[in-house]
Amino acid sequence: MQATAILLAAGFGTRMKSALPKTLHKIAGRSMLRHLIGSCEAVFDRVVVVLGPDMEPVALEAAPHKCVVQHERLGTAHAALQAVDHFGDGEVAVLYADNPLIRPETLERLLNRRRAGDSGLALLAFRLADPARYGRVIAHHEQVDRIVEWADATESERSVDLCNAGVLCANAQDMTRWLMGVTAENAKGEFYLTDVVAKARGEQVRVAAVEAPAEELAGVNSRAELAEAEAVVQTWLRRAAMEAGVTMIDPSSVFLRADTRFEADVTIEPNVVFGDGVTVARGAAIRAFSHLDGCVIGPNCIVGPYARLRPGTVLERDVHVGNFVEVKATTLGEGVKASHLTYLGDASVGAGTNIGAGTITCNFDGYEKHRTTIGARAFIGSDVALVAPVSVGDGAIVAAGSVITEDVAADALALARGKQVQKPGRAVTMRAAAEKRKRG
């Protein structure tokens, strides 16, 4: 029988103070919704997302999974019922899309506890040293008696540190019956998902509490909580990278994306930021204060310090990109060196070529981008402007200070700069004239 995850994503998210739907805000470069969907995909056979009206961007983010619409926001139990036609005949878990950090291992434990047969309903719970205003789970030996909201709890119940995460898992038939039995007899007049627990206990069904780390179950409802979730995920990503053989000199200053990929024996110095879609091969070193985005770093490359690699950059083996070098949509062949103060955009550079300080590829004419092609074993002198579209052949030398507007043949020497003129003694007369003007 299939297991189904129902993700509730219909909330306004007003505390985020954003035109962007709450669940589309990103943590480590991935939306909250995709974080949770990814965990659910690893455990459940089917994922269904419940949206509010006019939330097409959320539906696009959820694709290819099925979405249903809660046209009236009447509460969380009502939202879950909108997906009842997709419950199937196995287990159903109801989760909140603003609880994005639940890991697959935790969902696996929740599902297995329900399937063990000793409990008709399983829920996720967590412990906090200061539970504040969280609803309390009143349980004995992992069997839940009831959930008490903080406002309704006695002093004794408020002293309980086991908190409700709101995630429930039951057989589809039972879940449907309990959801349909929930009423809106409360101060807000809403149908609350947590009332399912009372419905189950009213039928003498055993309810199991599955404990999970609090960092996985914290909700994200504000910018401050989004930052807290970011810190949690960054800690997870850094730890996973180091366990896989990456050296981080100061892990807390390195920022990763959920899709950053490293091979072993990579070294990352402090204050490095990774954007989306970065892959770093074995033996590479990313030096301090570098920013990498959408690029592929080959084996034994050295990047930085203070380098910027933009989307479409590919560094093949043993490439050195040094300080204040920016590379965009460019492939640097094996052994290429671009050590200082250079911009390489929309270009390809052959193996063994040296790019001098101050070199730029002039790739944009105000309307279109154009490509520069540099062959293997070429030498580009300092302060060279390569005006695209242009090519430099294998083994060619471009003299320092040149502005190259025409193709350079293989093994040729290209010079394109004004002739130097020298006037002997002219500096003395110029200084004398300047002093005279200064004195008036």
The string of pLDDT tens digits covering residues 335-364 is 999 999 999 999 999 999 999 999 999 999
Nearest-angstrom CA–CA distance, 93 and 231: 27
Cβ neighbourhood burial of 420 (10 Å; 0-12, 13-18, 19+): exposed
Question: Residue 187: is its pLDDT beyond 80?
Answer: no
Q: Catalytic site residue 78? A: no
- Whole-number pLDDT of residue 262: 98
200's tokens: 């189950």
Task: For the chain, give every residue range classified as CATH 3.90.550.10.
Answer: 4-217
- Whole-number pLDDT of residue 338: 98
Contacts of 175 (CB under 8 A, 6+ apart): 80, 87, 92, 94, 168, 196
What is the pLDDT confidence band of residue 12, given thresholds at 50, 70 and 90?
A: confident
Contacts of 136 (CB under 8 A, 6+ apart): 147, 148, 150, 153, 157, 158, 160, 162, 163, 164
Instruction: Compare 95 and 190 and report the one with higher pLDDT.
Output: 95
The answer to whether residues 216 and 106 touch, using CB atoms and an 8 Å cutoff, is yes
Q: What are phi and psi of 377, to 5 degrees?
A: 60, 25
- Whole-number pLDDT of residue 104: 97
pTM: 0.91
Q: What is the pLDDT of residues 93-137, one digit of tens each?
A: 999 999 999 999 999 999 999 999 888 999 999 998 887 778 888
Contacts of 169 (CB under 8 A, 6+ apart): 91, 92, 93, 94, 110, 111, 113, 114, 121, 122, 123
What is the pLDDT confidence band of residue 404, given thresholds at 50, 70 and 90?
A: very high
- Whole-number pLDDT of residue 148: 84
Nearest-angstrom CA–CA distance, 126 and 216: 9
Q: Tell me which of 1.20.1530.20, 2.30.22.10, 2.160.10.10, 3.40.50.12500 is the CATH number of domain 223-414.
A: 2.160.10.10
Q: What is the pLDDT of residues 15-29, one digit of tens each?
A: 889 999 999 999 999
- Whole-number pLDDT of residue 420: 87
Mean pLDDT score of the chain, rounded to an integer? 94
- Whole-number pLDDT of residue 140: 80
Instruction: Compare 185 and 385 and report the one with higher pLDDT.
Output: 385
Q: Which CATH class is domain 4-217?
A: alpha beta
Question: Residue 147: is its pLDDT beyond 90?
Answer: no
Nearest Cα neighbor of 177 from 146, 148, 199 is 199
Cβ neighbourhood burial of 136 (10 Å; 0-12, 13-18, 19+): buried
What is the pLDDT confidence band of residue 383, given thresholds at 50, 70 and 90?
A: very high
- Whole-number pLDDT of residue 331: 98
Mean pLDDT of 384-410: 97
Task: For the chain, give every residue range classified as CATH 2.160.10.10.
Answer: 223-414
Q: What is the pLDDT of residues 231-279, one digit of tens each?
A: 999 999 999 999 999 999 999 999 999 999 999 999 999 999 999 999 9
Neighbours of 428 (CB within 10 A): 9
- Whole-number pLDDT of residue 295: 98
- Of all residues in the chain, what percent carry a pLDDT higher than 70? 100
Q: Which residue has the tokens 């990929």?
A: 261
Neighbours of 422 (CB within 10 A): 5
Nearest-angstrom CA–CA distance, 287 and 296: 16
Question: Residue 394: is its pLDDT beyond 90?
Answer: yes
Question: Residue 440: is its pLDDT beyond 80?
Answer: no
Q: What are phi and psi of 189, to 5 degrees?
A: 65, 35
Question: Residue 186: is its pLDDT beyond 80?
Answer: no
Nearest Cα neighbor of 348 from 382, 323, 325, 371 is 371
Question: Residue 388: is its pLDDT beyond 80?
Answer: yes
- Catalytic entry in 25, 71, 86, 340: 340
What is the pLDDT confidence band of residue 39, given thresholds at 50, 70 and 90?
A: very high
The answer to whether residues 12 and 47 touch, using CB atoms and an 8 Å cutoff, is no
Q: What is the pLDDT of residues 152-172, one digit of tens each?
A: 778 888 888 889 898 999 999
32-41 and 104-115 helices cross at what angle (nearest 10)? Answer: 50
What is the pLDDT confidence band of residue 55, given thresholds at 50, 70 and 90?
A: very high
